[in-house]
Amino acid sequence: MLGMKVGLDLGSSAITAYVAGKGIVLCEANAISYDSYSGDVLAVGSEAMAMLSRTPETVKLVRPMQGGVISDFSVQCQIMTALLDRICQNAVFRPNLIISVPSGLTKLERRTILDAASVCGAARVSVLDAPIASALGAGVSIEEPHGVLVVDIGAGTCDIAVITMGTVAFCRSLPLAGDDFDHAICQYLRQKRSVEIGLPTAKGLKHRIGCVSPREEEFEVSVNGKDAVRQMPLQFYVTSSELCEALSPLAKSIAQAIIGVLEDVPPELFADICETGVVLCGGSAALYGLDTFLQEKLRLPVRVAPDGEHCAAKGAGYALQNMKQLEDHGFTFRLKERNIG
């Protein structure tokens, strides 16, 4: 098969690319910035995302993926085209893509993503459910008639899926993920401390001292924000205990959603899951204490996949190396001119 083989994790927050034989070659924010008057593109990817909450009225920042769904088709095509050009550079043949997408997307939403990839010049493209891609990227064997529970916590959605024999047997896509953790921190500080911070600052706090179970040692970080009452600049300290209080309700919601999926699972698959446990993937899977929190709530073994943030892109790239096997499991591949499969 001619053309570069690229696995893409098309997320609400970032686009990650895996190239066969090279590994992860790109991880950029799924964002673009424009000049509001001329319509000229100012920046694409992480450079554009760095402008969040810092741009004047003349600059418009757009994030075209919301909750795993393309909300602005033309903008998403622009971003994907720019990033694919970076990956492929001067390659003669168009790339072959497998794109990891949330498992809860409708046929129309999947078709929209396929159309976007075709517009961007892909020679052959298919979509792959994020839990399957993440399981492959985490090194989990999914071909055997043995149930595996994968929880993929991205930026816009949390995919909970039971996988067996290479397909998703039961799944639920929860519109609660990494971005919601950031919003929860902002809301908590506004309500409890009457201070305002931006989403980039909240995300930084989440990564530095965020947790959903109490830490053995208390941490605190100095933060620059704004007094919500006086509207004046303010420097204050935030503790890990405060973030635990802000984030633990969201972790409880994820646990309840997992329990809801497990209630529908047949006894045989449930027995498999009791043996293999739960695999956490996605950028928010590494949040401190999330694995132990879920283990206590579910009473099942829980482990975080190595390099969970890139599991979906890696899995999509691995799947490209055996496209025939995917076709045998019902996946279709689209050429620029027609569908096959």
Residues 284 and 144 reside in one and the same domain: yes
Domain of 317 in residue numbering reads as 5-133+311-340
pLDDT of residue 331: 52
**Which residues share a beta bridge with 99?**
8, 127
Mean pLDDT over residues 188-192, rounded?
95
Per-residue pLDDT tens digits for 134-184: 998 988 888 778 889 999 998 888 999 999 887 888 888 888 889 999 999
Q: Which of 20-24, 38-42, 52-56, 154-158 has the lowest mean pLDDT?
A: 52-56
Backbone angles phi, psi at 216, to 5 degrees: -65, -35
Residues 300 and 330 reside in one and the same domain: no
Residues 45 and 102 reside in one and the same domain: yes
Query: What average pLDDT does the structure give for the chain?
Result: 87
Please count the structural domains in the chain. 3
Residues 161 and 266 reside in one and the same domain: yes
pLDDT of residue 112: 87
Query: What secondary structure, in 3-state letters, does 27-81 show?
Result: EEECCEEEECCCCCEEEECHHHHCCCCCCCCCEEEECCEECCEECCHHHHHHHHH
SS3 232: coil
As to burial, measured by CB atoms within 10 angstroms (0-12 exposed, 13-18 middle, 19+ buried), residue 244 is buried
What confidence category does residue 339 fall into, taking pLDDT thresholds of 50, 70 and 90?
very low
Per-residue pLDDT tens digits for 192-238: 999 999 998 999 999 999 999 999 999 999 999 999 888 899 999 99
Residues 77 and 12 reside in one and the same domain: yes
Residues 151 and 261 reside in one and the same domain: yes
In 3D, which of 156, 159, 158, 160 has the Cα closest to residue 183? 156
Residue 330 reports pLDDT greater than 70 = no
Residues 331 and 185 reside in one and the same domain: no
Sequence-ordered list of residues with C-beta below 8 angstroms from that of 211, at least 6 positions apart, any chain: 240, 243, 244, 247, 287, 288, 289
Residues 34 and 117 reside in one and the same domain: yes
Per-residue pLDDT tens digits for 286-319: 999 999 999 999 999 999 998 888 999 998 888 8
Residues 50 and 79 reside in one and the same domain: yes
CATH number assigned to the domain comprising residue 189: 3.90.640.10
**Which residues share a beta bridge with 101?**
129
pLDDT of residue 254: 96
